[in-house]
Amino acid sequence: MSLKIRPARPGEAPLVLGLVRELAAYEHLEREVEATDALIDAALFGERPNTFCDFAEWAGEPVGLALGFLNFSTFRGRNGFYLEDLYVRPAHRGRGIGRAILAHLARKCVDNGWARLEWSVLDWNAPAIRFYQSCGAIVMPDWRICRLTGEALAAMAGPGETRRVSEFL
């Protein structure tokens, strides 16, 4: 096996975005991708980076990525790591690369004292769900993701000035 997992380096935003676009195509969400090389570069390598990316390389070729950020558990009183994207190119699946990436991230969590590693999975993606469960992950059936974005986010934000508490009651 010739697998190496390494952090993304400055100048590799196009590679990150390319793999993200491949993942979006797999999930039938290509229309959702608004990211640009510049945005990815700023998130990973800007003045105050808050996003982290690791590549999986097989025989020196990038074949997958893990991209995420720190979150915080109030119940645990510590940070955790939220895995936004885990992707292995289809031709390289079944070689243990996804499991190796998760093990790498789990080790990073343990080494940094982070309370947990978590992520979301689309409910129709049965192969991914089976894979995650085979790694020991628990699919949280009682939790649902809530999201504000686009017009709904702008409407919730309201006008640019500070709003009074009475407006929310």
DSSP string, 81-107: EEEEEEEE-GGGTTSSHHHHHHHHHHH
User: Could you give the domains of the chain?
Assistant: 3-142 (3.40.630.30)
Predicted local distance difference test score (pLDDT) of residue 168: 55
d(CA 159, CA 169): 17
Q: One-letter amino acid identity for 94? A: G
Predicted local distance difference test score (pLDDT) of residue 103: 95
- Is the pLDDT confidence value at 11 over 70? yes
Predicted local distance difference test score (pLDDT) of residue 149: 85
- Is the pLDDT confidence value at 23 over 60? yes
d(CA 134, CA 100): 13
- Is the pLDDT confidence value at 160 over 60? yes
Predicted local distance difference test score (pLDDT) of residue 113: 95
DSSP string covering 30-45, please?
A: GGG----HHHHHHHHH
Q: What is the pLDDT of residues 43-87, one digit of tens each?
A: 999 999 989 999 999 999 999 999 999 999 999 999 999 999 999
The residues that are catalytic are: 132
Residue of 72, 106, 71 lying closest to 86 (CA atoms): 106
Q: What global pTM score does this model have?
A: 0.88
Predicted local distance difference test score (pLDDT) of residue 169: 57
- Is the pLDDT confidence value at 26 over 80? yes
